Structure 1
């Protein structure tokens, strides 16, 4: 029997004007849909607190050992399901739900300024938009220098790029929770397919290399 793929998907708790955080609502909707028989899906809600993220993410990667972690956050500016290509290390001045921000205003002392996902978000975006699920998807390179960006950077660092971040609009602007759940489902399926392809190519190259050594 094929080994199940482990995927962790997170949403955030309410903060600021977001009394209901559509990211967590969307993730719960995704959990109801599931990602199919061969995917073991684990979901969790992340506090909008820098220190909680620092404590939670390492244990999440260590205990779950996922092939992919997808973080979902709400953006009041978003009107599409937005795929973030990279996370940033510096510029964290906004106070969190505990009125705290890192003294260094950065995520990781001496870490690279920007870490990119191993996933090609343009490719994921194109595929989902071509599938015509009635939910628009776009790509962004700026996750906003708040807890979304902070979480994404930390996760990319811990998971060697095997992480993704998806920004969703607030509920009803324009999508319902069901729409957002379907959107996440489509996006994550494409991400897993891309990872699978890359893995197959790597194995193929590795085998070619091995065959030559005899």
Structure 2
């Protein structure tokens, strides 16, 4: 269980052995047969983490490379696969353990703002490179 607001860096394709709440587990133990083992988000989660932490919200933010090989990881990997890496997944601790809903809401707003800012900067770089060539 998360104790910080956790930015998931990547989704993993293999290792799904546990049953979900509906007693389902993929026969192949993977999300997408033939898909890459790991897909990273195009969003630089370390930068998002550093920028949000530096803003002084008082909510701990961390980066993870393993969303847990359960529904979260399965959903994230599938989303990353279908969006060619243009996806994000954030684990949030339970309310009151230790943060209030208001604190978590402020932290999530800041995280989303930083993600959008980084994506805007990446798009500007791509457009500049296209004009140069």
Q: Does 1:125 align with 2:46?
A: no
Q: Equivalent of 1:152, from 76, 84, 104?
A: 76
Inter-partner Cα distance in structure 2 for 1:204 and 1:122: 24
1:195 to 119, 125, 132: 119
Q: Distance in 1 between matches of 2:104 and 2:45?
A: 18
Q: Deviations over 1:67-100 (max 9, x none)?
A: xxxxxxxxx1x11100010000011111111111
Q: Which moved more, 1:138-147 or 1:95-104?
A: 95-104
Q: TM-score normalised to the size of structure 2? A: 0.97
Q: Does 1:161 align with 2:85?
A: yes
Cα deviation per residue 1:15-63 (whole Å; 9 max; x = unaligned)? xxxxxxxxxxxxxxxxxxxxxxxxxxxxxxxxxxxxxxxxxxxxxxxxx
1:172 maps onto 2:96 in alignment: yes
Q: 1:114 aligns with which of 26, 31, 38?
A: 38
Q: Which runs of 5+ in 2 are unaligned?
A: none
Structure 1 gap segments, 5+ residues each? 1-75, 210-214
SS at match of 1:163: coil
| 1:100 aligns to 2:11 (yes or no) | no
User: Where in structure 2 are the equivalents of 1:29-40 lying within 5 Å?
Assistant: none
Point out the structure with the larger strand share. 1
1:170-192 alpha-carbon deviations (Å, 9 max, x no partner)? 11110112211111111010000
For 1:144 and 1:97, the matched residues in 2 are separated by: 15
Q: Distance in 2 between matches of 1:117 and 1:199?
A: 15
Larger radius of gyration: 1
Count of aligned residue pairs for this structure pair: 133
- Kindly indicate whether structure 1 or structure 2 has the higher relative contact order, using CA contacts under 8 Å at least 6 residues apart: 2
* Counterpart selection for 1:135 from 59, 77, 80: 59
Which stretches of structure 1, 4 residues or longer, exceed 2 Å deviation after superposition?
A: none
